[in-house]
C-alpha cells in the first residue's frame, strides 16, 4: 500500500508540474494583455489599438490574403539567407577550431567584422544588390553567420581530449576524427550558435524589409502606418513577428533534445 500511495502521489505531482509548466506562461501573457487593454482604455489614446482591435486587424489580413503573402516572403528570405550562412559558417568554424593556423589567419577578420551591426550594412546592401530580395538575404546571411561560426569554434575548442585520445586508440585518425568524434561532440554548442543566429536573422529581416523591399512583415508595418495610420495593423504585424519568432525558437530547441546532441550530458 505504501509503494502504491507513493506512486500515486508522484503521478499527481508530475501532473501538477506539467499543468503549471503551461499555465504560468499563459497567465503572464493574459496579465500583460489585460494591462495593455486597461492602459489604452484609461488613456483613451487614438494612436494605440486595444487587443480586440489588433485581433480584428489580424483577421482582416487573413481574409484578404495579405498576411500569408507577407509571412511567406519574410520566411523565404530568412530560409535562403540562414541556410547559406549555415553552409559556410559551420565548416569554417570546424576548420578554425581544429586547425590552429586557420584560426590564427581567419579569427582576426571575424572579430573585426562581427561587432558591426547588420543594420549598418543596409546602405551597402542596397548599393550592391539594389531593391529586391538579394539585399535582405545578404543581411540575413551576415547576421546569422557570425553567431554560428563563433559557436562552432567554441564547440570544437571545448571537445574533451579524452574523446580524441580514445578514438586514436581505436585507430581513428585524420578527417575521420573530425567527422566521427569532434563534430558530434561539438553539436550542443553548434546548435546554440544556430539558435542565436536564427533569432538575429528574424530580427534583421524585419528591419531590412522596412527599408530595402516592398513585401514582408517589415514592409507591412511601414505600409500600414502610411496607409492612414492603421496602427491596429502595425501592432498586428508586431504580434505576428513575435509569434513566428517564438515558434522558430521552439523548433531550434527541439534540436537540442535529440539524442545525438544530448549524449554528452547526463539528465
193: left (phi over 0), alpha (psi -120 to 50) or beta: alpha
Model pLDDT for residues 16-42, shown as the tens digit of each residue: 666 767 788 788 888 988 888 888 888
For 47, the 3-state DSSP assignment is: coil
Which range, of 24-28, 29-33, 165-169, 257-261, averages the lowest pLDDT? 257-261
49: left (phi over 0), alpha (psi -120 to 50) or beta: beta
Residue 170's Cβ-side half-sphere holds a number of Cα atoms within 13 Å equal to: 10
**pLDDT exceeds 90 at position 87:** yes
Residue ranges of the alpha helices (H) in the chain? 2-43, 51-63, 66-98, 100-113, 122-129, 134-157, 161-169, 175-177, 183-209, 217-226, 231-256, 259-262
Answer for the pair 41, 49: CB distance below 8 angstroms, yes or no.
no
Model pLDDT for residues 105-155, shown as the tens digit of each residue: 999 999 999 998 888 888 888 888 888 888 889 999 999 999 999 999 988
The domain limits of the chain are 1-45, 49-262
What's the pTM value of the predicted model, to 2 decimals? 0.82
CATH number of 49-262: 1.10.3720.10
Is residue 18 packed enough to be buried (19+ CB in 10 Å), middle (13-18) or exposed (0-12)?
A: exposed
Amino acid at each position: 500500500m505504501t509503494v502504491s500511495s507513493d506512486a500515486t502521489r508522484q503521478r499527481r505531482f508530475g501532473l501538477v508540474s506539467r499543468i503549471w509548466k503551461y499555465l504560468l506562461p499563459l497567465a503572464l501573457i493574459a496579465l500583460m494583455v489585460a494591462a495593455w487593454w486597461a492602459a489604452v482604455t484609461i488613456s483613451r489614446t487614438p494612436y494605440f489599438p486595444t487587443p480586440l482591435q489588433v485581433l480584428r486587424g489580424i483577421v482582416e489580413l487573413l481574409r484578404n490574403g495579405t498576411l500569408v503573402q507577407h509571412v511567406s516572403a519574410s520566411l523565404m528570405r530568412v530560409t535562403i539567407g540562414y541556410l547559406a550562412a549555415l553552409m559556410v559558417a559551420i565548416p569554417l568554424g570546424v576548420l578554425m577550431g581544429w586547425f590552429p593556423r586557420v584560426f590564427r589567419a581567419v579569427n582576426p577578420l571575424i572579430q573585426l567584422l562581427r561587432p558591426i551591426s547588420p543594420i549598418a550594412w543596409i546602405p551597402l546592401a542596397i548599393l550592391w544588390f539594389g531593391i529586391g530580395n538579394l539585399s535582405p538575404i545578404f543581411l540575413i546571411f551576415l547576421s546569422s553567420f557570425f553567431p554560428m561560426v563563433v559557436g562552432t569554434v567554441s564547440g570544437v575548442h571545448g571537445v574533451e581530449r579524452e574523446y580524441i585520445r580514445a578514438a586514436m586508440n581505436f585507430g581513428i585518425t585524420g578527417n575521420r576524427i573530425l567527422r566521427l568524434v569532434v563534430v558530434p561532440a561539438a553539436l550542443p554548442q553548434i546548435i546554440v550558435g544556430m539558435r542565436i543566429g536564427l533569432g538575429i536573422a528574424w530580427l534583421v529581416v524585419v528591419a531590412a524589409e522596412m527599408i530595402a523591399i516592398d513585401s514582408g512583415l517589415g514592409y507591412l508595418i511601414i505600409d500600414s502606418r502610411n496607409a492612414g495610420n492603421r496602427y491596429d495593423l502595425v501592432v498586428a504585424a508586431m504580434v505576428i513577428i513575435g509569434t513566428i519568432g517564438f515558434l522558430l525558437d521552439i523548433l531550434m530547441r527541439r534540436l537540442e533534445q535529440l539524442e545525438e546532441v544530448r549524449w554528452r550530458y547526463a539528465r
